[in-house]
Homo-oligomer: A and B are copies of this chain.
Amino acid sequence: MSRYYFSMQNLDSIGTQIRKLREETEMPLRKLAALLDIDQSTLSKIERDERRANTQIIDQIAKIFKADKEMLLIAFYSDVVAYEIREEKTFSEILQVAEAKIEYQRTIKKNVK
């Protein structure tokens, strides 16, 4: 159902979600960093939202913990978006217009094909 993520939405940052997945399986940060082929200090910072993850890491995390990749990507991108406009009092309007723009751009693309 299309409102699944809306009703079940998880407001944890992507970093917190990664940390929770890792801790649920009692995997040391050091080991997960090795699996992801990144420095452990980098992973530490990602889990505490001091550094950005990226989609490649999200992808691997989903596989390693058999987690819902789409949900993780939503967490990741919503962090990025929220960070960008968090200080704007019109954040809600900004998001509405952004959505309309994306939809609009897609209808154009379809008609061009």
Contacts and interface: CB of A to CB of B under 8 A. Distances in A.
Q: Is the interface of A mostly helix, strand, loop or mixed?
A: helix
A4 to B, nearest CB: 9
Contacts of A85: 77, 81, 98, 102
Contacts of A104: 11
Contact of A97 (B11, B91, B102): B11
Copies of this chain: 2
A98 B81 contact: yes
A105 B49 CA distance: 14
A78 interface: yes
Interface string A51-93: 0000000000000000000100111011111101110101111
16 contacts: A6-B96, A9-B100, A11-B100, A11-B104, A73-B88, A77-B88, A78-B95, A78-B98, A81-B81, A81-B98, A82-B98, A82-B99, A82-B101, A85-B102, A86-B105, A95-B99
